């Protein structure tokens, strides 16, 4: 995945300039975290990569092709789980299969196989046996797990996660970090994770990208080379904390850059 000198302006010539001169590239199978000050255009970046909105300038390439519109190569999950309350958990997870052209044609004939796949995913995130329940019968953390399954069910090579854990309490969040790491180690999709939590970024990612204040662009990047699978306790090691502190300093500088403008 490659983004070259992209700019994005909302709402006409006088609108908000959300991104400018933003370039980055992500290897296949890589896990990248994006951090930056609030409102710097992280969610905007996600929308551009998934082809939901065209960039005002510059180019976006995914899997060797320029993105011109939505391509069902991506799975997405957001801060709130956005499940459909009238569907069971299993049916929620299977929603993408009813939409993605390659799957919807085969869904009816191979329903059992697809259901088995969904059940396997639910098991992977620790929701075995909850398929028949409805979203309101699940806790917030369980709903977010479901949302993660929904993002994964059509086996997208690219997974876009926009602050998926930020509405959860610390313990649930850390559980889900482990779940996400397991999923990633097992299937090796390319992951772009937007987050405000530096511990989360360092724990999960191979590389952390830091964005400037609006208009956003990538101003720094930090490799994280801790061995996998990473353990949660390791997030309290001195080494780990040194990386977090370094990133924190970078973001503080990025925010200071916004001062004269504000």
Partner 1 sequence: MPDSRADSLATAARRQRRLEAALPWLVIGGAFFLWEAGVWLLGISPFILPAPSAVVQAGLRWWQPLMQDSLVTLGTTLLGFAMAIVFGLALGVAIGSSTLVYRGLYPLLIAFNSIPKVAVVPVLIVWFGIGIWPAVITAFLISFFPIVVNVATGIATVEPELRDVLRALGARPLDIVRKVGLPRAMPYFFASLKVAITVAFVGSIIAESVAPNAGIGRLMMVASSRFDVPLVFAGLVVTGVMGVLLYWIAERLERRVTGWATRGQEGLTPGG
Ligand X SMILES: Nc1ncnc2c1ncn2[C@@H]1O[C@H](COP(=O)(O)OP(=O)(O)OP(=O)(O)O)[C@@H](O)[C@H]1O
Interface ranges with partner 1 (CB under 8 A): 47, 50-52, 70-72, 74, 76, 78, 80, 82, 84-86, 95-96, 98-101, 134, 136-137, 150-151, 154
Site for ligand X in 177-216 (CB under 6 A): 214
Instruction: Identify the helix (H) or strand (E) that includes residue 251.
Output: helix 238-256
> Is 262 a binder of ligand X (CB under 6 A)?
no
Name 24's bridge partners: 3
> Is 42 a binder of ligand X (CB under 6 A)?
yes
- Single out the segment in contact with ligand X by CB under 6 A; choices: 38-46, 94-102, 126-134, 184-192: 38-46
For 71, which DSSP code? -
Name 57's bridge partners: 7
> Is 39 a binder of ligand X (CB under 6 A)?
yes
> Is 166 a binder of Mg ion (CB under 5 A)?
no
Neighbours of 227 (CB within 10 A): 7
- Single out the segment in contact with ligand X by CB under 6 A; choices: 35-43, 54-62, 132-140, 231-239: 35-43
> Is 56 a binder of ligand X (CB under 6 A)?
no
Cα separation of 27 and 71, whole Å?
A: 18
Q: Identify the residue among 2, 21, 43, 218 touching Mg ion (CB under 5 A).
A: 43
- Size of the residue set binding Mg ion (CB under 5 A): 1
243: exposed, middle or buried (C-beta count within 10 Å: 0-12, 13-18, 19+)?
Answer: buried
107: exposed, middle or buried (C-beta count within 10 Å: 0-12, 13-18, 19+)?
Answer: middle
Considering CB distances under 5 to 8 angstroms, the limit depending on partner class, which of partner 1, Mg ion, ligand X, none binds residue 70? partner 1
Name 222's bridge partners: 208
> Is 16 a binder of ligand X (CB under 6 A)?
yes
> Is 41 a binder of ligand X (CB under 6 A)?
yes
Nearest distance, CB of residue 31 and partner 1, angstroms = 20
Considering CB distances under 5 to 8 angstroms, the limit depending on partner class, which of partner 1, ligand X, Mg ion, none binds residue 51? partner 1
Peptide bond into 218 cis (omega under 30): no
Nearest distance, CB of residue 43 and Mg ion, angstroms = 3
Q: How far is CA 150 from the centre of its chain?
A: 13
Question: What is the contact surface with ligand X in residues (CB under 6 A)?
Answer: 10-11, 16, 18, 38-44, 214
Question: What is the contact surface with Mg ion in residues (CB under 5 A)?
Answer: 43
């Amino acid at each position: 995945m490659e983004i070259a000198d992209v700019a994005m302006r909302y709402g006409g010539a006088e609108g908000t300039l959300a991104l400018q001169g933003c370039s980055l590239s992500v290897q296949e199978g890589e896990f990248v975290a994006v951090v930056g000050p609030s409102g710097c255009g992280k969610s905007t970046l996600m929308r551009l990569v998934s082809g939901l909105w065209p960039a005002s300038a510059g180019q976006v390439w995914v899997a060797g092709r320029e993105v011109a519109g939505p391509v069902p190569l991506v799975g997405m999950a957001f801060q709130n789980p956005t499940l459909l309350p009238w569907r069971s958990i299993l049916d929620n997870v299977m929603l993408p299969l009813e939409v993605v052209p390659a799957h919807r044609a085969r869904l009816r004939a191979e329903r059992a196989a697809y259901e088995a796949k969904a059940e396997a995913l639910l098991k992977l995130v620790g929701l075995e046996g909850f398929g028949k329940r409805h979203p309101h019968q699940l806790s917030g953390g369980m709903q977010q797990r479901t949302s993660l399954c929904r993002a994964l069910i059509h086996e997208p090579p690219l997974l876009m996660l926009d602050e998926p854990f930020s509405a959860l309490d610390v313990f649930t969040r850390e559980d889900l970090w482990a779940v996400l790491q397991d999923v990633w180690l097992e299937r090796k999709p390319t992951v772009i994770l937007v987050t405000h939590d530096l511990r989360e970024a360092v724990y999960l990612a191979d590389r952390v990208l830091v964005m400037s204040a609006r208009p956003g662009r990538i101003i720094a990047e930090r490799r994280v080379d801790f061995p996998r699978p990473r353990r949660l306790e390791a997030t309290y090691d001195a080494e780990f904390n040194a990386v977090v502190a370094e990133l924190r300093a970078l973001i503080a500088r990025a925010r200071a850059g916004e001062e004269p403008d504000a």
